[in-house]
Amino acid sequence: MPTSLSTTGPTPGTTVRVAAGQIGSVFADVPANLERTLEVMAEARAAGVELLVLPECGLTGYVFDSLADMLPVALDREGPEVAAVAAAAERLGLVVVIGFLERVGGTVHNTAVLLGPGGLRADYRKTHLPFLGADRFVTQGDNEPVLVTTPYGVVGLSICYDLRFPEWARCLALGGADIIVNPTNWPEPAQRVAELYTRVRAAENHVFVIAANRGDEERNVPFIGRSQVIDPVGTVLATSEREEGLVVADIAPLTARDKDIVVPDADFAISLFSGRRPHLYEALTRLPDLTSDAERA
């Protein structure tokens, strides 16, 4: 079952200002990255933003070459850096999602934390790992889907490569997510993710998607920007190229809860969730047989 933290949710018709913070990260310089995070949080709140998503591994940097290189930089998720962001979120009245490399003994996780007023908090360790940057050396998270009820709707947590797996987004949506947040470090080969996957995940689950990327370069790896806010039918409400700054949109989170879509003028209707036939989906739990024809022979 998903993890859920409960607070008072939005009322019908409520509009919420959300933002993806497209900001860079200084490799292995936690104090500089923390300072910039706190600045952007203040800028976002001054712009009326109530829910802010920042990029993957923003506090630590991402393009590490070994576990040994990461360990001195990785953070304790109960440490002073995360506490400083939590204190700022409390003071500003802002819900914020941040990313960092998390040290656990001799291992490291790629972690995102949601922080907000009143001690609101949820922690998520990246579940799906590509062969890229720090993800080559971190330990996979084994957490079940993490969902948190905020004053601005139910938020489901994912990180970057997780978005390529429709099962993960569907589990978040089935758990009640109104908004899927996706802190990311999309490099140039991930153009298609920014162009297609965000929109498809939003539309196939009828949820909002907020993806926060960076547009800078770290250790000769350029990132493509393209941070965005997507609505439940797959429309891009706001986006940016590589420019640093806030990507802001006003959304009505509760509109994501109606999974039955009717278009009377077109004599068309679909039921995204009740139309499912899970008893036929057993193959989802099995690994594919990758044996070649020659090996079978």
Q: Are 92 and 105 in contact (CB under 8 A)?
A: no
Please report, for residues 27, 57, 175, the alpha-carbon distance to residue 132 in angstroms, rounded to integers and kept in the order given: 15, 13, 29
Which of the 8 DSSP states describes residue 232? T
Residue 118 falls in which region: left (phi positive, over 0), alpha (psi -120 to 50) or beta: left
As a whole number of angstroms, the distance between CA 124 and CA 178 comes to 17
Q: Are 42 and 84 in contact (CB under 8 A)?
A: no
**Closest by CA position to 230, among listed 250, 255, 202, 194:** 202
Locate 178 and state its tokens.
Answer: 């109104």
Crossing angle of helices 30-46 and 80-92, rounded to 10°: 10
Locate 110 and state its tokens.
Answer: 């790629």
Q: Are 57 and 99 in contact (CB under 8 A)?
A: yes
Active site residues: 56, 126, 160
Find how far residue 88's CA is from the centre of its chain. Answer: 20
- The tokens 């609101």 sit on which residue? 120
As a whole number of angstroms, the distance between CA 170 and CA 158 comes to 12
**Closest by CA position to 137, among listed 71, 55, 40:** 71
